[in-house]
Amino acid sequence: MNNSIITYQAVAKYIRLSTHKSQRVLKQIKGKNYDEARLILEFMSYRACKTIIKVLESALNNVSQQTNKKVNKKQLIIKEAFANKGPILKRFQPRAQGRAFPINKPTCHITIKLEIQ
């Protein structure tokens, strides 16, 4: 018997969110099954949740696409969920007396890996 466990993943790159704020939400869903995670994300009041739901759905579609059959959502476990730092968009805000105030707009790359239990 071959007990190889296959993981399926989805990645969203260059998302205009802070890595720390995204990671805070991703910690909540790590280790949960798909239905639980989706429910948690629906009712959390963070801006990152909308994007993470899209990535989670993309990972689910990747599973069904690669296995060529319908998968039970209760058997899907979120094995990994993390956010890596992306490039920082650097802007300047004009201030009084000819000064400039730097504004850093962070981006992140969100990765979610699913596993069939």
pLDDT recorded at residue 3: 64
Residue 1 reports pLDDT greater than 50: no
In a domain, 2, yes or no: no
In a domain, 22, yes or no: yes
Provide the pLDDT confidence category of residue 112 given band limits of 50, 70 and 90. very high
Residue that the structure tokens 């798909």 belong to: 34
Over residues 22-32, the pLDDT tens digits come to 999 999 999 99
Domain region containing 82:
7-116
| Domains in the chain, number | 1
In a domain, 47, yes or no: yes
Residue partners of 43: CB distance under 8 A and separation at least 6: none
Of all helices (H) and strands (E), which one includes residue 81? Answer: strand 76-85
CATH number (domain holding residue 18): 3.90.470.10
In a domain, 1, yes or no: no
Q: What is the pTM for the complete model shown?
A: 0.88
- Percent of the residues in the chain that have a pLDDT greater than 90, as a whole number: 83
Provide the pLDDT confidence category of residue 60 given band limits of 50, 70 and 90. very high
Mean pLDDT of the chain: 93
